[in-house]
Amino acid sequence: MKSQLIEKFCALYGRVPEIVAYAPGRIEFIGNHTDYNGGPVLGAALDRGVWVAIAGRADGRRQFSSDQRGAPVEVRAEDSAKRTGATSWVNYPLGVLAAMPGFGAKAPAGFDFLAMSNLPAGAGLSSSAAIELASALAFLEMAGERPPREIVVKIGKHAENNFVGVPCGILDQGVSGFGQKNCLVWIDCRGPVFETVPLPADAHFWIFNTHTKHALVDGLYAERHRECMAAAQALGVGLLVESNAAAVERDQARLTPEAFKRAKHIVDEIARVTESRSALARGDLAQVGRLLTASHRSSQFLFENSTAELDFLVDVLTAMEHVFGARLTGGGFGGAVMAMTSGAFGEAQAVVAAYRARFGAAPEVLHTQTGDGATLL
């Protein structure tokens, strides 16, 4: 991919790039919407992601191009407006540039920029965090800064929260930044504290991307965020991580029926993440799988961020041999289901056929490996 990127960069801009950086996409392993509630989460960096190449320009012009879009987009350095429509992908690197000064780094003035990706878009695999982290590493290098990884992660999250405008937690950027092959990344989102957890050898990941996306997905994500904050307030805590299942049951009368369901999902999910970590340490993949599927059911019935397509995939997958568990991965309201299977699983095409028979379209299937985190190349 790096050589393709350099070739394309030369063809576009007539010179070689000075800096190339890469950041992976991620699977949300377990911990659905726990991150911005201060809870823990487990994720895995994938062996696919986004590559960014840049070269400085003395004339102060900023040109952005990507392999998925047409001609370069020029954005003047003094123009800090958010883009809409076909060029809105530029908001990710623009958000990173806007975030840099707050972290003590001077944003580079002029450059040519090219991004390439081998992540399926809209699958809930965080192509946005990947482009943010690869851009951050490249821009920081151009500015002569090599801050700790945690700062790169925070710059990416800042871009997403403040420029792109999604009130996400630190899961996506944290996993893309701290990923390690054959490991999961465990994040205590309150610190945040990042750790790697070895993944038992027989755990295989399959992604079934439905290519469906609720039209209001960003609005619905923000609505869940608001509902969780309101539930925390009603329960008298700052964040739901400070509550627990017993307290939520006890104080149910203080919550609307909807707020109760959201809060219950979060406190139970936090417990499932912790249990998953212990089960992983024992190599008990059967138990981890049960927790994954329980997480999905909680999304389906309590957090209500699943869809008929995702539920169908989980139903089909969990009835199959060699499948430990399955769940929606990421924000929800469409996107993809992740299944953890043993190496003996060979039924992906049967899942595709069942889905096609029900919905008339085939999901995209990825048998993915874990990969390493963001890096300069």
Q: How far is the CB of 174 from ligand GLA (least distance, A)?
A: 9
Residue 338 is a binding residue for ligand GLA (CB under 6 A): no
* Binders in 17-36 for ligand GLA, by CB under 6 A: 28, 32-33, 35-36
Closest to ligand GLA by CB, 36 vs 345, is 36
- Within its chain, how far is the Cα of 154 from the centroid? 14
Number of residues that bind ligand GLA (CB under 6 A): 11
Tell which one of 21, 99, 171, 199 touches ligand GLA (CB under 6 A): 171
- Residue 344 CB partners (closer than 8 Å, separation 6+): 321, 322
Provide, rounded to whole angstroms, the least separation between the CB of residue 16 and ligand GLA: 34
Instruction: Tell me, rounded to whole angstroms, the distance of Cα 113 from its chain centroid.
Output: 23
Residue from the set 100, 125, 168, 374 that interacts with ligand GLA by CB under 6 A: 168
Closer to ligand GLA by CB, 39 or 289: give it: 39
**CA 97 from chain center: how many Å?**
20
267, 273, 275, 280: CA torsion to nearest 10: 180
CB 181 within 8 A of CB 174: no
Question: Which helix (H) or strand (E) covers residue 274, if one does?
Answer: helix 257-281
Spell out a b/e string for 298-308, using b for 16 or more CB atoms within 10 Å of the CB, else e.
bbbebbbbbbe
Decide whether 171 or 336 has the Cβ nearer to ligand GLA.
Answer: 171
Quote the tokens at residue 151.
Answer: 């700062």
Near ligand GLA by CB under 6 A: residue from 24, 25, 108, 330:
330
Residues forming beta bridges with residue 166, ordered by sequence position:
none
Q: Is 172 in the site for ligand GLA (CB under 6 A)?
A: yes
Dist. CA 125–CA 209, nearest whole Å: 10
Q: Is 172 a catalytic residue?
A: yes
Q: In whole angstroms, how close is the CB of 177 to ligand GLA at the nearest point?
A: 13
By CB under 6 A, is residue 331 in contact with ligand GLA?
A: yes
Q: Report the residue number, 331 or 363, with the smaller CB distance to ligand GLA.
A: 331
Residue 264 binding ligand GLA, by CB under 6 A? no
The single residue of 67, 112, 172, 311 carrying the catalytic annotation is 172
Angstrom distances, CA of residue 180 to CA of 47, 82, 163, 374: 10, 33, 28, 10
CB of residue 38 vs ligand GLA: minimum separation in angstroms? Answer: 12
Q: Which is nearer to ligand GLA, 34 or 65 (CB)?
A: 34
If phi > 0 it is left, if psi is from -120 to 50 it is alpha, else beta; for residue 45 that is beta
Nearer CB in complex with ligand GLA: 136/348: 136
Q: Does the CA dihedral 13-15-20-25 come out positive or negative?
A: positive
Q: How far is the CB of 334 from ligand GLA (least distance, A)?
A: 12
Q: Does 203 bind ligand GLA (CB under 6 A)?
A: no
Residue ranges binding ligand GLA (CB under 6 A): 28, 32-33, 35-36, 168-169, 171-172, 330-331
User: Looking at the annotation, which residues are catalytic?
Assistant: 172
